[in-house]
Structure 1
């Protein structure tokens, strides 16, 4: 049973005559009649009651008419869906992001993308850079938003703008000052709370400024550092965007002006895997 035979059958069922159906289909009567006979032979039932002036449907014919309409409509919808998926205007985007970007970068870009492609859905996973890389390697996500460094031999990427690092503490930790900024060595007597990814560079800068910092805690997750800072346990040195992870608290934020500490994020994808059309379109937002 072919789609063509179903279209022929529906035309005859709706017109009630071979002549009118052939004219509507823009074919001659003999091939139309032949296709109907072949369809009946394939199904092993009589679909049409024929007389000189009119054709009527048998009970099996009425059933096939209903199913043929459904089949052809489903086929049409399927073809449209496949075309939309191939063009990247429909489908699901599997994406992973470091937690701070999940609150800052991702919502803005997803809002923009959703306005352009409302039929694309998302599966968003969040975690630290190491977890996002693991998900990429396992093929569980297509795109990741992570912080440098990562292996550029394995991943293609688009670099995002640099982000400054800030010192975050509970009220009363920082001395009142006219300047909103501070120097890194102003924290020489504080308990520092830092992300493991930034430990090496922070230690290096502290040594250049002539002191050995007391690092009370290193963590693979920024959120606990902010919670500890909010409790007055120490001063967290974190990317500026991550402060929003504890929205609504009383944390005090000071820019670190000397040296200027920065961190850089990137949108990355695995070099050995082809991107879906949806993922390719999403990347265009960052270019």
Structure 2
């Protein structure tokens, strides 16, 4: 007994006539009668009593009719669920993020995605850009949200608009009312930044003929901001990262530099697996 036989029998039971069931199934009557007889022979029970015009289910036929209804309903729902997975409507999406991308991830895009795909769950892996590139290469995550610069060999990328770096500090370390400063104003100031921006910061400072005074190097924008919030120095971070520590006594000033900028990039492997839900997620950034 297979699904096709159950569909044939279910149609016969529903219609009460083989002729009408054949029309419903878009097939000729003789093959349908033949399939019914084969099913009865296979099961070793009589399923219907044949009348001159209609058929009547036997007790065995009633049992099979109830089971067929359940099985066919489950089959249909299973097909729909698998189609949902194929279309990216269900499942778990594994994403890697650097801490400083949090504000870019948790913006209106994610709300739009959740409204459209409410049954997609997330598994988030946090790390620095280099760690996330490794997770992407190993297939542990499908998509990574990182910051420039990075090695883009073997990956596809979507870049968000460039954003400036800012100098973040407590008010007692402030020296000017201006909201925009020149990099030279950070000369001899205790600077806090994370390592991946070290070469960029040094280059900009050297272009203006001074060496930055490094108070603390670390691996996370949040750490830089927390140290700055303690009054230990001035953090240099991407502007959007300011939102990472919420309420604080920090003020910030945009650094006027065409070089000292960064971008959020959404990346995925050119050769790795990308699920339908992953493709739908990427659409958020390609189309908004």
Q: Within 1, Cα distance between the matches of 2:112 and 2:261?
A: 27
Q: Where do residues 253-268 of structure 1 align in structure 2 (5 Å cutoff)?
A: 253-258=252-257, 261-268=260-267
Secondary structure of the residue that 2:172 maps to in structure 1?
Answer: coil
TM-score when normalising by structure 2: 0.87
Q: Within 2, Cα distance between the matches of 1:51 and 1:86?
A: 44
Q: Residue in 1 aligned with 2:154? A: 154
Mapped contact 1:148–1:266 kept (Cα < 8 A): yes
Q: Within 2, Cα distance between the matches of 1:195 and 1:47?
A: 78
Mapped contact 2:179–2:253 kept (Cα < 8 A): yes
Ranges in structure 2 where 5+ consecutive residues have no aligned partner? none
Q: Within 2, Cα distance between the matches of 1:86 and 1:136?
A: 21
Q: Within 2, Cα distance between the matches of 1:221 and 1:124?
A: 16
Q: Within 1, Cα distance between the matches of 2:66 and 2:103?
A: 50
Q: Does 1:184 align with 2:210?
A: no
Mapped contact 1:45–1:60 kept (Cα < 8 A): no
Aligned length: 285
TM-score when normalising by structure 1: 0.87
Q: Residue in 2 aligned with 1:50? A: 49
Q: Residue in 1 aligned with 2:211? A: 212
Q: CA deviation at 1:88?
A: 4.1
Q: Residue in 2 aligned with 1:31? A: 31
Q: Where do residues 49-68 of structure 1 align in structure 2 (5 Å cutoff)?
A: 49-52=48-51, 55-68=55-68
Identify if the C-alpha distance between structure 1 residues 213 and 265 changes in structure 2 by more than 3 Å, giving closer, same or farther: same
Q: Residue in 2 aligned with 1:283? A: 282
Q: Residue in 2 aligned with 1:233? A: 232
Moved over 6 A (4+): none
Identify if the C-alpha distance between structure 1 residues 201 and 26 changes in structure 2 by more than 3 Å, giving closer, same or farther: closer
